[in-house]
């Protein structure tokens, strides 16, 4: 009875050897691809987090005092971050959309920093107040975008 259900039985199974081997190879390939996708995503997330966190920390520190020089420096950092994120590729279309949206916000922040620096340099305080308000208003959408990107990294 044991010999009947042993290896000899399975070798005469329902699927011929070549088909069974192909199915096994396909299943193995799929599991390897899933593992590769996780590794790729982890690598993408690590690179994204390092780039964004380092630059945003620098901007926060340098713009703690609002001066024309600190704002120009902040604008340069926003621009550099946007450019650094541009060539990054993501395995998930939604993540690529989130990063591109974040880049547009970075570009807007850079523009507003330049404008605010110029306003302060010219002592145009009313215009400076408007640009400061717009810059502050960008903080909430940028935090939401960062949250979405972080969520993508954490959930996958």
Contacts of 37 (CB under 8 A, 6+ apart): 91
pLDDT at 139 exceeding the cut of 70: yes
Map out the domains of the chain as residue ranges: 41-155
How far, in Å, CA of 91 to CA of 52, rounded? 18
**pTM for the model:** 0.72
pLDDT at 21 exceeding the cut of 50: yes
Contacts of 89 (CB under 8 A, 6+ apart): 44, 96
The pLDDT value recorded for residue 18 is 56
Mean pLDDT of the chain: 79
């Amino acid at each position: 009875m044991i010999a009947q259900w042993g290896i000899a039985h399975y070798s005469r199974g329902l699927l011929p050897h070549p088909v069974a081997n192909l199915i096994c190879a396909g299943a193995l390939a799929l599991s390897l691809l899933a593992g590769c996708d996780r590794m790729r995503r982890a690598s993408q997330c690590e690179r994204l987090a390092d780039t964004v966190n380092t630059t945003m920390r620098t901007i926060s520190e340098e713009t703690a005092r609002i001066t024309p020089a600190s704002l120009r420096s902040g604008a340069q950092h926003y621009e550099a971050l946007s450019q650094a994120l541009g060539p990054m590729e993501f395995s998930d279309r939604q993540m690529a959309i989130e990063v591109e949206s974040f880049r547009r916000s970075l570009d807007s922040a850079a523009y507003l920093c330049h404008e605010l620096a110029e306003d302060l340099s010219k002592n145009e305080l009313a215009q400076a107040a408007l640009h400061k308000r717009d810059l502050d208003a960008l903080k909430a959408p940028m935090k939401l975008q960062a949250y979405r990107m972080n969520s993508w990294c954490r959930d996958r």
